[in-house]
Amino acid sequence: MPNVLITRRTHPLGVSLLQAETDVRTLLNPSRQELMAALPDVDAMIAGVSVMFDGELLDHAPRLLVLARHGVGLDNVDLKAATERGICVLYAPQAMTVAVAEHAVGLMLAVAKSFKRGDLALREGKFHNRDLLGEVDLYGKTLGIIGCGRIGSRVSRICSRGLGMNVITYDPYITDLQAAKVDAARKQTLAEVLREADVVTLHTPLTDETRHMIGEEQLAMMKPTAYLINTARGPVVDERALIAALESGKIAGAGVDVFEVEPPATDNPLLSMPNVIATPHAAGSSLECMQRIALTISRGILAVLHDQQPEAESMANPEVWARRRHAH
Q: What pLDDT digit, counting tens, does each position of 98-119 carry?
A: 999 999 999 999 999 999 999 9
Query: Do 173 and 250 have their domain in common?
Result: yes
CA 320/CA 317 separation, integer angstroms? 6
Query: Are 229 and 322 contained in the same domain?
Result: no
103 belongs to the catalytic site: no
278, 295, 310: which is the final residue of a domain? 278
> What mean pLDDT is predicted for residues 82-111?
96
Q: What is the CATH number of the domain that holds 57?
A: 3.40.50.720
Task: For residue range 246-296, list pLDDT tens digits in order.
Answer: 999 999 999 999 999 999 999 999 999 999 999 999 999 999 999 999 999
Residue type, 314: S
**Domain limits for position 232:** 97-278
How many structural domains compose the chain? Answer: 2
**Is pTM, for the whole model, over 0.95?**
no
Is 25 among the residues known to form the active site? no
Which residue among the candidates 11, 233, 239, 292 is catalytic per the annotation?
A: 233
Q: Using an 8 Å Cβ cutoff, are 206 and 233 in contact?
A: yes
Residues 6+ apart with CB under 8 A from 145: 152, 155, 156, 167, 168, 169, 170, 171, 184, 193, 201, 203
Q: How many CB atoms lie within 10 A of CB 322?
A: 12
Q: Which of 262, 288, 311, 319 is catalytic?
A: 262
* Residues 58 and 111 both lie in one domain: no
- Whether 204 and 87 map to the same domain: the answer is no
DSSP, res 71: S
Helices 287-305 and 12-19 pack at an angle, to 10 degrees, of 20
3-class state of residue 172 by DSSP: coil
In this prediction, residue 25 has a pLDDT band, given cuts at 50, 70 and 90, of: very high
Of 278, 301, 317, the residue that ends a domain is: 278
40 with 69, same domain: the answer is: yes
